[in-house]
Structure 1
Amino acid sequence: MAQGTKTEEGQRQELRTAEEFTGGPEMTLIEHLIELRRRVIISALAVVVGIVICAVFWEDILGWLLAPARERNPDFQVSSFSPTDRIAILFRIALYGGLLVASPVVVYEILAFVVPGLTPRERRLVLPVLFGSAFFLLGGMAFAYWVILPASLGFLLDFGSENIRNVIGIRQYVDFVTRIVFWVGVSFELPMLMMFLSRLGVVTAGKMLGLWRYALVAVFVVAAVVTPTPDPLTQSLVAGPLFVLYFVGVVLAWMARPRTREEDFGI
């Protein structure tokens, strides 16, 4: 009898522990699958709505993509080299734009499914990491659009002989712009990556600070890969902010370092 009472008490304790971590009663596997299906359906609907919206306004979005080149040359135009180019670029703009428009909903649904399974300490890190990642990504994309693209397009469009006329395909141009904006945005996530590695104990902030000379070489290599132009000006426009972000990452890595029990209690 005493053994049965102890077993029941242990089960109640496990249930209380599960409720503490998840914020509610522990869900069964079937309930988890039903919840996952609901989150996936909502995310898919958000993507479809985003694609439809961007398909309706695809010419306005195309004009926005052409703006950096037209700052350099107001008469800049792109060409269609096949009967399918226009419809292909419509679908491409609708898809890329739809994913971007729907991304807040998709991220929310992912977090709504994952966060209840985290510990209270892990939950406190979710919002800072989420907002930090979004800040650096959007900041990098904005920097690429308003600074990198005008500089690189200005160099590329003016480079060469006067006997060669620029005839640029619409597909090639859109791929060029989206690739630059995306990869510069991703490269600006460097501080978050450094913070994550420090949190895992892979490397310390002090070690990162001591490797700053190697980091300087590395950011110029990354800039050479990300930027399409060989001129040092455009590469420096990417490498300079990345080098500054490296030191921002050192600070974040120090703040996110694994603490001892004495540090946690302020000793």
Structure 2
Amino acid sequence: MAELSNETRAELIDVAHALADAAREATLVHFRSLALTAESKESQRFDPVTVADRLSEDRMRAILAQRRPQDGILGEERGSQAGTTGLTWVLDPIDGTRSYLAGTPTWGVLISVADETGPIYGIIDQPYIGERFEGGFGRAQMQGPHWQRALATRGPRALADCLIMSTFPEVGTADEAAAFHRLARQCRLTRYGTDCYAYALLAAGHIDLVVEAGLQAYDVQAPIAVITAAGGVVTDWQGQPAPQGGRILAASCPDVHAAALAVLNG
């Protein structure tokens, strides 16, 4: 794909923020509503989807249909739509629907645009807190109700001084969970349940590692863009690019990434 012009990059950034604004409004309509219910997308485990998930994605798709109709779309709730430009918008209308249902403010909206190499720009937005993290096209910054500042990951440190996060303590299969806990035991502090907000915290320099498994492209592409722009590293558990998800290791810097990779692989 040819290098994008500055005008195209500016347009993509503007559209991404318009999507985030629309999703923020849609998700807050139902957040902490006592009438909110959910259905499960799976029969064997509770994988919830709500009216807010679908409304959020529908609002974003409507904007793309108007402003970038030739681009592809991959969304968690409405599937894929082919495009002709070589660019694909990857949308997670609510990452952390379980947290959304529980009323905790750690869920978020994930928006990224990708070419054939993977995500090139992304946004992690937390509507209730009002914080937005973006990365790509030479940008790495956050804005919120208290400040606006550049994003920069933490520097090298021993695993014994690292803070590690994951959404679920059980982390995927039994073998994957065992590998995660082997790594977590070597770290200073382990926290759970933060969904995509953990990746934002890593990009902002507050933690060192996020380790997860069983993820999809829409779960990881925005975090990959934001963390990479902030100076971090995101791969699979073998150290390879992971734009399609799977087992994810996000680290603050190459040294911490290499140390964590060695522990995960025994």
| TM-score bracket, shorter-length normalisation | under 0.3
The structure where strand makes up a greater share of residues is: 2
State the structure with more CA Rg: 1
Using CA pairs below 8 Å that are at least 6 residues apart, which structure has the higher relative contact order? Answer: 1
Q: Name the TM-score, length of structure 1 as normaliser.
A: 0.26
Instruction: Give TM-score scaled by structure 2 length.
Output: 0.26
Structure showing the higher helix proportion among its residues: 1
